[in-house]
């Protein structure tokens, strides 16, 4: 039963990522969130199932929910599932979210390659939580921990979700302006590496590169080049279709507002 439900969760994730109609996902995903809740209730220590639930809750809360209170609840649940997944993957990581920064890093050092998947989920859901709580300095203070977790994934398995890890590191380096700790040279290198690794198939990288890097530095030429490239690209790509179509919508919105911004 556990194998079957894990397989269903994996297939569900693939089906969502390859869906070319975001409204279908927006309308249909809540039923699957409840289904994943039931699977977790049946297997509360299954790291794979906990990760699947965490990532779907995070994505839905960030992408499809506009109401702040709902987005808060959904990303909080995502964070909770992500923390439980990492704990189920390696008992030494239980309670890692409440540790001091030094102790957090000490726990990261105890993880091995078998824990990379759960550590990736842990990082992803925290990024989702921070995006929803960008005005909360308590949440923003967690950025160095998430950066450390992503760097640990690269050390454990450089090939695991390499595009996404580089993409997220780019966001973390540029989500704050340089005066508040952003490292835009490092961020640019991460975005460029993510683009190289993806072969241009993941259009959301370009959008975040334009939003967090080009806009903050008021680089209109780079901003428009990145976003126009998104609009002219083929969005249907295995594993990226849903977010590519959403990226094209965001790219158009950013371009439409560019004259006012710049």
Listing DSSP states for 32-55 in one string gives HHHHHHHHHHHSTT-HHHHHHHHH
Rounded Cα gap, residues 119 and 161, in angstroms = 11
pLDDT score at 5: 54
The pair of three-digit structure tokens given for residue 190, joined into one six-digit string: 């991460």
The answer to which of 66-75, 126-135, 198-207 has the lowest mean pLDDT is: 126-135
Q: Compute the average pLDDT of residues 193-197.
A: 97
pLDDT score at 134: 74
pLDDT score at 237: 93
pLDDT score at 8: 62
If DSSP codes are grouped into helix, strand and coil, which group holds residue 159? coil
Listing DSSP states for 12-36 in one string gives HHHHHHT-S-HHHHHHHHHHHHHHH
Given a cut of 70, is residue 51 above it in pLDDT?
A: yes
pLDDT score at 142: 87
The pair of three-digit structure tokens given for residue 27, joined into one six-digit string: 């309308």
**Closest by CA position to 109, among listed 96, 121, 122, 98:** 96
pLDDT score at 77: 96
Given a cut of 60, is residue 2 above it in pLDDT?
A: no
Q: Compute the average pLDDT of residues 193-213.
A: 96
pLDDT score at 108: 97
Q: Compute the average pLDDT of residues 1-13.
A: 61
**Closest by CA position to 172, among listed 199, 145, 210:** 145
- What's the first-to-final CA gap in the chain, in angstroms? 55
The answer to whether 217 and 261 are in contact (CB under 8 A) is no
Convert the pLDDT of each residue in 138-187 to its tens digit: 778 888 999 999 999 999 999 999 999 999 999 999 988 888 888 999 99
The pair of three-digit structure tokens given for residue 105, joined into one six-digit string: 């890093």
- Tell me if the pTM is above 0.85: yes
Rounded Cα gap, residues 168 and 160, in angstroms = 13
pLDDT score at 6: 57
pLDDT score at 9: 64
Q: Which residue has the tokens 């839905």?
A: 60
Structural domains of the chain, with CATH:
1-157 (1.25.40.920), 161-262 (1.25.40.920)
pLDDT score at 212: 95
pLDDT score at 206: 98
Convert the pLDDT of each residue in 106-145 to its tens digit: 999 999 999 999 999 999 999 999 888 877 777 788 889 9
The share of the chain scoring above pLDDT 70, in percent, equals 96
Rounded Cα gap, residues 8 and 142, in angstroms = 33
Confidence of residue 225 (pLDDT cuts 50, 70, 90): very high
Burial class (CB in 10 A: 0-12, 13-18, 19+), 158: exposed
Average pLDDT, the chain: 92
């Amino acid at each position: 039963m556990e194998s079957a439900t894990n397989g269903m969760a994996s297939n569900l994730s693939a089906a969502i990522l390859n869906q070319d109609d975001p409204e279908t996902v927006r309308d249909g995903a809540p039923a699957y969130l409840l289904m994943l809740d039931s699977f977790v209730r049946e297997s509360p220590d299954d790291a794979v199932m906990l990760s699947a639930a965490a990532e779907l809750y995070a994505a839905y809360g960030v992408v499809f929910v506009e109401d702040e209170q709902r987005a808060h609840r959904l990303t909080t649940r995502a964070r909770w599932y992500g923390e439980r997944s990492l704990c189920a993957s390696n008992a030494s990581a239980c309670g890692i979210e409440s540790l001091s920064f030094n102790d957090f890093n000490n726990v990261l050092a105890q993880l091995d390659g078998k824990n990379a998947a759960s550590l990736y989920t842990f990082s992803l859901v925290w990024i989702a939580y921070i995006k929803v709580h960008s005005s909360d300095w308590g949440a923003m203070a967690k950025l160095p921990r998430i950066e450390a977790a992503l760097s640990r994934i690269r050390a454990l398995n450089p090939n695991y979700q390499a595009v996404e890890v580089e993409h997220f590191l780019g966001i973390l380096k540029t989500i704050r302006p340089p005066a508040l700790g952003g490292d835009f040279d490092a961020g640019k290198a991460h975005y460029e590496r993510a683009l190289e690794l993806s072969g241009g198939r993941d259009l959301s990288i370009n959008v975040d590169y334009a939003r967090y890097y080009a806009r903050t530095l008021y680089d209109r030429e780079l901003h428009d080049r990145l976003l126009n490239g998104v609009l002219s690209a083929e969005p249907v790509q295995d594993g990226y279709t849903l977010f590519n179509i959403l990226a094209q919508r965001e790219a158009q919105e950013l371009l439409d507002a560019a004259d006012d911004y710049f």
